[in-house]
Amino acid sequence: MRMPLLQPGPEASALPRRQLLSVQTAAVIEAGIRSGRWTRELPGQHELCRQLVVSRKTLRVALQALHHRGLVTLRQGLPTAVRPARGRATAARGVRRVLLLLPEPLWRLRPSVGRWVSELRPRLLEAGLGLELVEGGRAYGARPESALTHLAHTHPRSAWVAFAGTLALQCWLHASGHPAVIVGSVFPGLELASIEYDHAAIARHAAARLRALGHERTAILLRRTGSAADATTCAAFAAGLGEGAPAPVLLAHEAGMPNIARQVARLTALRPRPTALFVTKTLAVPAAYTLLSSAGLAVPRDLALVCREDDPFLDYLAPSVARYGTDPAAIARKLAVLLGRIAAGESLRITHDLLQPRFIPGGSLAPPFGRGGGA
């Protein structure tokens, strides 16, 4: 089975131009002022840096530029004041900002997520939209309704983007009627637009490759996220192994090295031991390499490994990691198009955009050693 290839543009064009970051920051703040998001004063610098994901130095340069243009007044020891509009046109009706819901702080998520978030901000700015991050908290809890309702009341005229939304979160967005896009899988029965990598195709392709190499006993190291992609991945991987193949061992874990370590210890204790491992999250790959080595097992001699996702740091592991390459900037481009249409007053169409990855061969993928595997 051959996977379709993405055609990403040059790497340099997808990276933020750091020499213009203060200019972009000033433009985002100006858009917030003109949209009515801030009418009297800006949040404190620490909070504003957190919301805009910039350094204090960058923010100060941006605020100085806005001060010289007469949009704000800098006050020593006090929040920055927003100057009166003086005839400035009031914001048009409709969506003026995007709320991006993240399950954890951005810095804790894998690097490729940070890349598409950074790519998205200037694209939204061109459409006259600000971007505000809502990181972690009760929005991703078991009962997010009150937190989301409060967020909706304090941030009117917003479009919503949820990364890897849970069932409860998606149900609220579905019922609320707010324009919303899921970056990830949508749960069955919910009418929400989505953009995601084709996890089912990836899992089927990985399973078929492992089976073709002679692996009969397999396992899935699954980071439990609560998203619809969890079930999709497991079902597609099992289907990709083919009829008559033993079901894969599911090693589901929460975030953190201790949780991964418990599942890898469980894997090494199995008899007969699986000879191949499908890892769903890039951050678990170096953990698996280290833990398997500590147990006296080597990749791929004792355990072949393939990862569902890709991040640049995987290039620094030996043996090289077989994985599925993606273009994070593609998510930003497609989100910007959808959200730009909303800002222009168009209704959001319910579409499910599947991004096709490319398979990247690596030294971690090989036939079972002696066709025998673990003892």
Domains and CATH numbers, the chain: 10-34+37-90 (1.10.10.10), 199-325+359-371 (3.40.50.2300)
* Position 264 pLDDT exceeds 70: yes
Per-residue confidence band for 372, with pLDDT thresholds at 50, 70 and 90: very low
* Position 243 pLDDT exceeds 50: yes
Maximum CA extent, the chain = 80
Average pLDDT, the chain: 86
CA distance 24 to 47: 18
Per-residue confidence band for 375, with pLDDT thresholds at 50, 70 and 90: very low
- Which pLDDT value is given to residue 250? 97
For the whole model, what pTM was predicted?
0.69
Structure tokens at 260: 């991964």
- Which pLDDT value is given to residue 10? 35
- Which pLDDT value is given to residue 9? 37
**CB contact at 8 A, 223 and 281:** yes
314 burial (CB, 10 Å; 0-12 / 13-18 / 19+) is buried
CA distance 51 to 46: 9
- Which pLDDT value is given to residue 369? 84
| pLDDT digits 0-9 by tens, 87-142 | 333 333 467 899 999 999 999 888 889 999 999 999 998 888 899 999 988 999 88
Structure tokens at 219: 């396992």
Task: Say if residue 111 is preceded by a cis peptide, omega within 30 of 0.
Answer: no
Other beta carbons less than 10 A from residue 300's beta carbon:
22
CA distance 65 to 77: 19
Task: Say if residue 272 is preceded by a cis peptide, omega within 30 of 0.
Answer: yes
CA distance 243 to 313: 36
CA distance 38 to 85: 11
Please name the residues in contact with 12: beta carbons below 8 A apart, sequence gap of 6 or more: none
- Which pLDDT value is given to residue 300? 96
Pick 4 or 316 by higher pLDDT.
Answer: 316
CA distance 106 to 117: 9
* Position 280 pLDDT exceeds 90: yes
Q: What is the mean pLDDT of residues 178-186?
A: 92
* Position 316 pLDDT exceeds 90: yes
| pLDDT digits 0-9 by tens, 157-168 | 899 999 988 899
**CB contact at 8 A, 153 and 133:** no
* Position 177 pLDDT exceeds 90: no
- Which pLDDT value is given to residue 370? 66
